[in-house]
Structure 1
Amino acid sequence: MPKPKYHIMVCTNTRPPGHPKPSCGSAGSQNLLMALNMGLMERGFQPGEVLVTGSSCLGPCEQGPTVVVYPDGTWYSQVKDEHVALILDEHIKKGTPVAQLNPDSVWA
């Protein structure tokens, strides 16, 4: 398998009900994971060209769901389903991180 151009990590960590700290999983990150994979297929990316992987806790739980795009090291927080197209079309297709999503919490 050739080296992927991008690797998208999606925090899918879920804490038990009643836990005082929020989690990306309870904020809908599983849907994001599926939407990113489906979006790549819809855009004609070849298998292995871009990897999408679920991850355990990435850290900023209060700002979840968190998505990280490597090799750029760009972090997106509070990602919603409607942001998937922007991330795929701007960052993955064009190579430009989507700063307007969360200008205070996108780190590149």
Structure 2
Amino acid sequence: MPKPKYHILVCTNSRPPGHPKPSCGAAGAAQLLMAFNMGLMQRAVPPGEVLVSTTSCLGPCEQGPTIVVYPDNTWYSKVTEADVAPILDEHVAKGTPVAKLNPDDVWK
């Protein structure tokens, strides 16, 4: 397999019921992961060009689901299945990050 052009990390971390801190898993990360994989298939992206992986907690749990796109180190917050198409069509296909999903206040 060639080195991927992009690596999309999807936080799928889950916490026990009643835990005081939210989690990306409880916010629909599994469906998001499936949407990325389906989106790549629908766009006929060659295998290995874009790698989609799960990860544990990335930190901004209140902003989840959180994803990171490398090699750009672009962090996206509150990502929904509807956001997958713009991420794939704008960021992955054209190299232009989706500004509305990349708020400056996540790390404040």
TM-score normalized by the length of structure 2: 0.94
* Equivalent pair of 2:60/2:106 in contact (CA under 8 Å): no
- 1:31-59 deviation per Cα after TM superposition (whole angstroms, max 9, x unaligned): 11000011001001011110000101011
The equivalent residue for 2:15 is: 15
Which ranges of 4 or more aligned residues in structure 1 deviate by more than 2 Å? 100-107
Q: Secondary structure at the match of 2:26?
A: helix
* Equivalent pair of 1:13/1:25 in contact (CA under 8 Å): yes
Query: Unpaired segments of 5 or more residues in structure 2?
Result: none
Instruction: State the distance in 2 between where 1:94 and 1:66 align.
Output: 21
The equivalent residue for 1:55 is: 55
* Equivalent pair of 2:12/2:25 in contact (CA under 8 Å): yes
Instruction: State the distance in 2 between where 1:105 and 1:95 align.
Output: 23
* Equivalent pair of 2:77/2:103 in contact (CA under 8 Å): no
Counting only pairs closer than 5 Å after superposition, residues 1-108 of structure 1 correspond to structure 2 as: 1-104=1-104
Q: Secondary structure at the match of 2:101?
A: coil
Query: Unpaired segments of 5 or more residues in structure 1?
Result: none
Residue identity (%)? 76
Q: Which letter maps to 1:81?
A: E
